[in-house]
């Protein structure tokens, strides 16, 4: 005989939502293939299973298919479901975990709300049936040797005053040759040039520069007045997803509900969580969780501690 747990699991292959009357609904959403670069692992596409406590009405799907599968009446199948729900509630109320085969576990959190942990061993995606995860060897591109570029600087040699004087004398001589020797004015110029004397200047004085210290007083005061920003370690989570794409779509829905401060919080275990807000104080996060759980759309929010 097919049990209620087995029938829930069977229906999740072909239905996006399976409601257990009086308990809640198991909702599936597609997840694309994932490449884990840290573990060198490819994961096939699948469905992610979540739990919605708000959907607990009887839509007839579970009971009717259970009756048909076991060849029993609708009334007997309904009793089976009611007994299953009573068994789950008894276990979680006693502080234990209720196992739904190949689907996940239900238990109560610190505030007494139902918490669902999905069993990821089953993909629930018929299009990817038979596909399994596999490891791959990363291709490492060959690295070219580094070539050090050295910039060659040409140093200008200082020119002494003696060299300048010699150059001037040569120029004067060339100018004299280019003129007629018969020109009396030229003779005077040549005689005048012969009397040119060069006086070596005294030791040149170095230009003095007064370095004004930078005014750091205002910057130092600003640094002293800066107050450290407290780091958020607690987050109010509305949904958890395997891919960033899926988390972003859910974030857009949360924004449309008026929670504009919500954001996607990546985590080390390849989960992308949609956080309604972040907190530095745990008590404040738990208090807000109680407030949000009074709202119809956020009955399953929970607090994540992440240091």
pLDDT at 73: 95
Please give the radius of gyration of the chain, using alpha carbons only, rounded to the nearest integer: 42
Alpha carbon of 271 to those of 54, 92, 243, 265, 297: distances in Å? 24, 26, 7, 9, 22
Q: Which two tokens stand for residue 281?
A: 């104080």
Q: Which domains does the chain have, with CATH numbers?
A: 1-135 (4.10.520.10), 231-307 (3.30.70.1070)
pLDDT at 240: 82
pLDDT at 244: 84
Of the candidates 19, 21, 11, 26, the residue with the CA atom closest to the CA atom of residue 119:
26
Beta-bridge partners for 272: 241, 266
Burial of 289 (0-12, 13-18, 19+ CB in 10 A): buried
Question: Which residues touch 141 (CB under 8 Å, ≥6 apart)?
Answer: none
pLDDT at 95 over 80: yes
Q: Which two tokens stand for residue 137?
A: 């060897």
Q: pTM for the whole thing? A: 0.45
**Spatial distance between the Cα atoms of 271 and 186, rounded to a whole number of angstroms:** 98
Percentage of the chain beyond pLDDT 90 is 30
Kindly report, residue by residue over 195-240, the tens digit of the pLDDT.
444 444 444 444 444 444 444 445 454 444 544 445 778 999 888 8
Rounded (to 5) percent helix, strand, coil in the chain = 35, 20, 45
**Spatial distance between the Cα atoms of 223 and 220, rounded to a whole number of angstroms:** 5
Query: Which is higher by pLDDT, 110 or 235?
Result: 235
Kindly report, residue by residue over 154-171, the tens digit of the pLDDT.
545 555 566 666 666 666
Coil vs helix vs strand at 25: strand
pLDDT at 252 over 60: yes
């Amino acid at each position: 005989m097919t049990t209620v747990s087995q029938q829930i699991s069977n229906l999740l292959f072909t239905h996006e939502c399976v409601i257990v009357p009086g308990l809640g609904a198991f909702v599936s959403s597609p997840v694309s293939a994932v490449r884990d670069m840290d573990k060198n692992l490819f994961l096939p596409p699948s469905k992610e299973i979540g739990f919605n406590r708000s959907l607990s009405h009887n839509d007839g799907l579970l009971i009717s298919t259970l009756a048909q599968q076991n060849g029993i009446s609708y009334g007997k199948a309904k009793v089976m479901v009611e007994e299953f729900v009573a068994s789950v509630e008894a276990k979680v109320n006693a502080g234990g975990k209720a196992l739904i085969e190949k689907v996940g576990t239900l238990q109560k959190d610190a505030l007494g709300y139902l918490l669902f942990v999905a069993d990821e061993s089953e993909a629930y995606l018929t299009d990817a049936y038979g596909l399994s995860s596999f490891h791959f060897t990363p291709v490492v591109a060959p690295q070219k040797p580094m070539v050090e570029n050295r910039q060659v600087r040409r140093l200008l040699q200082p020119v002494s005053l003696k060299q300048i004087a010699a150059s001037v004398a040569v120029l004067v001589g060339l100018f004299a040759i280019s003129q007629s020797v018969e020109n009396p004015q030229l003779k005077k110029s040549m005689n005048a040039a012969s009397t040119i004397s060069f006086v070596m200047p005294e030791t040149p004085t170095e230009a003095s520069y007064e370095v004004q210290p930078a005014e750091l007083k205002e910057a130092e005061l600003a640094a002293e007045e800066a107050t450290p920003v407290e780091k958020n370690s607690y987050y109010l989570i509305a949904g958890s997803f395997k891919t960033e794409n899926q988390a972003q779509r859910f974030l857009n829905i949360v924004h449309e509900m008026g929670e504009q401060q919500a954001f996607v919080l990546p985590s080390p275990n390849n989960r992308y969580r949609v956080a309604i807000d972040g907190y530095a104080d745990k008590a404040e996060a738990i208090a807000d969780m109680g407030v949000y759980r009074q709202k119809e759309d956020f009955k399953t929010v929970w607090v994540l501690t992440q240091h």
